[in-house]
Amino acid sequence: MVSPTSRFFDTLNRRGHEDILAGIEGTVRFDLAHDGDVEHWTVVIRHGGLRVTPEWREADCVVQTTQGLFDGFACGTTNPWSAWLRYQIRIRGKFILFSFFARLFPGPPDARHPRTLSAEGAAP
């Protein structure tokens, strides 16, 4: 079975462009630990375009965490910002690259559009 992590990076690579990364340049590498091994993903960001390769490469920003946690980020079930504050993510190099990249993760799957909320309450 394909892991949520692989699926996430695969989607990212196929889209190949994110408007929020316009003006950002740099390489981020993810070192994801699992079962005594470390899996590497490298993302090269250049003016909104990005390219993902499943390999170790020199990077401006290195993000270390576990694959289990990263699966959670990829599914939106774990919030990366809070995990970072708990030191479950360790960052070396240019923090700002991670702070941009973190915005690409999806939100919680059960999140509601604010309109659904007002519609719920509206029906007497």
Partner 1 sequence: MSEDTVRILDGNVFVVSDRQGNLHPSSTFPVGYFAFDTRFLSTWNLTINGERLQTLSIDNVHYHETRFFLVPGAPSHYVDADLSIIRHQAVTRSFEDRVTVFNHRGRPAKITIRIEAGNDFADIFEIKDVRQKKGRRYQRVEDGRLRLGYLRDTFRRETLISSTAPAEVDERGLTFNLLIEPHGTWQTVLHIEALGDGVDLRASLQGEQHPRPEVRREIDEWLERIPRLSSDSEALTTTYRRSVTDLAALRFVALTARGQSMPAAGLPWFMTIFGRDSILTSLQTLPFTSDLAATTLRLLGNFQGRRLDDFREEEPGKILHELRYGESAAFEEQPHSPYYGSADATPLYVVLLDEYERWTGDGELVQQLEYFTRCALDWIDQYGDVMGNGYIWYQRRNEETGLENQCWKDSWDGISYRDGRLPGFPRATCEIQGYAYDAKMRGARLARQFWNDDAYASRLEREAAELKRRFNRDFWLPDEGYYAVALDRDGTAVDSLTSNIGHLLWSGIVEPDRASKVVEHLLGPRLFTGWGIRTLAEGNDRFNPVGYHVGTVWPFDNSFIAWGLRRYGFAEEAARLAEGMIEAAAYLDGRLPEAFAGYQRDLTHYPVQYPTACSPQAWSTGTPLLLLRTLLGMEPSDGQLSTNPVLPARIQRIELVDVPGRWGVASAAGRHG
The residue ranges that bind partner 1 (CB under 8 A) are 19-20, 22-23, 61, 76, 79, 81-82, 84-88, 90-96, 98-100, 103-108, 110-115, 117-118, 121-122
Nearer of residues 1 and 110 to partner 1, judged by Cβ: 110
Q: How far is CA 115 from the centre of its chain?
A: 27
To partner 1, the closest distance from the beta carbon of 17 in angstroms equals 12
Tokens standing for 121? 């309450």
Instruction: Give me the amino acid identity at 4.
Output: P
Check if the beta carbon of residue 45 is closer than 8 Å to that of residue 72. Answer: no
- As a residue count, the chain comes to 124
On whether the CB atoms of residues 64 and 90 are closer than 8 A, the answer is: yes
Shortest Å distance, C-beta 93 to partner 1: 6
Nearer to partner 1, 19 or 35 (CB): 19
Which lies closer to partner 1 via its Cβ, residue 35 or residue 120? Answer: 120
Contacts of 116 (CB under 8 A, 6+ apart): none
The residue (of 12 and 61) whose beta carbon lies closer to partner 1 is 61
